[in-house]
């Protein structure tokens, strides 16, 4: 089983990123207690890979991630993933805005939604929590329903809350960049980005000497950041991202020259450039106005759905070869799938409860088919 670790608990934006990435590439998400745990479990082969936040367009870099990438060997950045940060006001079903007497959330999330809270809930006290997920959990279990949380769609799905007001963040383009980490160097062609970290001697022109090899070869620098080295005051290391593939002669020449002008240099990874924001939440409207044409279009979609269900059943039958009668039902796997598809349902404006009902029927059918196949083998 291919697994992808993320910083928990469920309902955080790291959880949202993990759900989207696993949905795209077929991994099973695994909740971890810390970023350190994610990275060390990859290194020890407990996880296939992991997804970690590295920077936010408003909050800046995640220092712990940068430190881990610097200090732990055998880990490569294999991909990047951009997640738009959408904050929502979450409450228990049936609650309306006028009912809210208190709002819970992480300090950063509350700050990101300052204008909305000031305008819509001006006299409502706010309570800081350790995460947006813990705020959602507190609302779900509160003695009174007249409370709300600021958090993600994942938190709403995980803790059974409704989105009372969507997209309440002050800045619509707030985005978090995640890095996918693994043990193997990726093999791919096309547009690429490279990340590295290096240390320079504290001397006049030191920064110029590490930028010149890139500028002279017209290599596009996308990010540079300094961070204290931890050795003594005034000593810094630099994190650099630039566009270019490892098999490019210009990139190879630039790195060789950089090594001559640095105390040490570590390549963190090279990976495809992220395409940009995630796909839009809404599909393009169907431009058919004739009823028979609309029905024919629906019939085509139904045929596609059945074809995909048939393909899914074939895979389920292959999975049966790895199971025994007493291990057919994998509840944790089913719950992970439900979290993912309900999140995607929210993104597509589909009723998540309806989607959950459909998938529970699919699970029943899959279990029944696997039991039948295993009985034939006995």
- Which residue, chain included where needed, has tokens 């295993």? 374
| Cα end-to-end distance, the chain, whole Å | 25
d(CA 2, CA 49): 8
Chain-centre distance of CA 212, in angstroms? 34
pLDDT of residue 122: 92
DSSP state string for 177-243? EEEEEESS-----SSEEEEEEEE--SSTTHHHHHHHHHHHTT--EEEEEEEE-SSSTT-EEEEEEEE
Region label for 218, one of left (φ > 0), alpha (ψ between -120 and 50) or beta (otherwise): left
Q: Is beta strand 147-151 parallel, antiparallel or unpaired with respect to 102-105?
A: parallel
pLDDT of residue 9: 83
> What residues does each domain of the chain span?
1-85+174-184, 88-165, 185-278, 291-377
Most confidently modeled of 243-257, 291-305, 333-347? 243-257
Residue 144 CB partners (closer than 8 Å, separation 6+): 101
d(CA 250, CA 278): 31
pLDDT band at 241 (very low <50, low <70, confident <90, very high): very high
Beta carbons of 194 and 244 less than 8 angstroms apart: yes
Is residue 277 pLDDT above 50, yes or no? no
One CATH from 1.10.287.1080, 3.40.50.720, 1.10.3300.10, 1.20.59.10 for 291-377: 1.20.59.10
Q: pTM for the whole thing? A: 0.69
d(CA 23, CA 336): 10
pLDDT of residue 39: 95
One CATH from 3.40.718.10, 3.30.565.10, 1.10.510.10, 3.40.190.10 for 1-85+174-184: 3.40.190.10
Is residue 116 pLDDT above 90, yes or no? yes
Known active-site residue 178 = yes
Is residue 214 pLDDT above 60, yes or no? yes
pLDDT of residue 283: 37
pLDDT, tens digit, for every residue of 66-75?
A: 999 999 999 9
pLDDT, tens digit, for every residue of 15-32?
A: 888 988 887 888 888 999
- Asked if CATH classification 3.40.50.720 holds for the domain at 185-278, the reply, yes or no, is no
Comparison of pLDDT for 318 and 125, the residue scoring more: 125
Beta carbons of 181 and 50 less than 8 angstroms apart: yes
- Same fold across 1-85+174-184 and 88-165: yes
- Which residue of the set 13, 81, 178, 238 is catalytic? 178
Beta carbons of 142 and 104 less than 8 angstroms apart: no
Beta carbons of 192 and 271 less than 8 angstroms apart: yes
- Asked if CATH classification 3.40.190.10 holds for the domain at 88-165, the reply, yes or no, is yes
pLDDT band at 347 (very low <50, low <70, confident <90, very high): low
- Which residue of the set 12, 132, 176, 262 is catalytic? 176
β-sheet bridge partners, residue 88:
151
Q: Give the Cβ contact number of residue 305 at 10 Å.
A: 10
């Amino acid at each position: 089983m291919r697994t992808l670790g993320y910083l928990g608990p469920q309902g955080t934006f790291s959880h949202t990123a993990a759900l989207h990435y696993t949905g795209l590439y077929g991994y099973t998400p695994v909740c971890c207690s810390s970023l350190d745990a994610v990275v060390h479990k990859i290194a020890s082969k407990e996880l296939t890979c992991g997804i970690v936040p590295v920077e936010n367009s408003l909050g800046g870099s995640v220092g712990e991630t940068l430190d881990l990438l610097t200090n732990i060997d055998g880990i490569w950045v294999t991909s990047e993933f951009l997640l738009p940060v959408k904050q929502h006001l979450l409450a228990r079903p049936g609650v309306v805005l006028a009912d809210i007497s208190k709002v819970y959330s992480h300090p950063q999330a509350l700050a990101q939604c300052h204008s909305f809270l000031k305008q819509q809930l001006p006299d409502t006290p706010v309570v800081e929590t350790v995460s947006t997920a813990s705020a959602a959990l507190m609302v779900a279990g509160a003695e009174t329903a007249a409370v709300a949380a600021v958090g993600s769609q994942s938190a709403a799905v995980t803790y059974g809350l409704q989105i009372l007001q969507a997209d309440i963040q002050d800045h619509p383009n707030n985005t978090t960049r995640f890095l996918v980490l693994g043990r193997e160097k990726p093999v791919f062609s096309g547009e690429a980005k490279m990340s590295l970290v290096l240390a320079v001697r504290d001397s006049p022109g030191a920064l110029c000497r590490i930028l010149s090899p890139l500028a002279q070869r017209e290599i596009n620098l996308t990010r540079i950041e300094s961070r204290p080295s931890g050795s003594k005051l005034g000593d810094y290391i630099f994190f650099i991202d630039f566009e270019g593939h490892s098999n490019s002669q210009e990139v190879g020449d630039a790195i060789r020259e950089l090594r001559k002008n640095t105390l040490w240099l570590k390549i963190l990874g090279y990976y495809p450039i992220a395409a940009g924001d995630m796909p839009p939440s809404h599909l393009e409207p169907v431009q058919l106005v004739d009823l028979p044409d609309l029905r024919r279009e629906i019939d085509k979609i139904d045929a596609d759905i059945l074809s995909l269900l048939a393909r899914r059943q074939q895979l389920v039958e292959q999975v049966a070869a790895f199971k025994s009668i007493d291990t057919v039902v994998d509840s944790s796997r089913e719950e992970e799938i439900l979290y993912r598809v309900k999140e995607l349902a929210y993104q597509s404006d589909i009723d998540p409860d309806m989607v959950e009902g459909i998938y529970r029927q699919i699970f029943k059918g899959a279990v029944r088919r696997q039991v039948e196949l295993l009985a034939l083998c006995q």
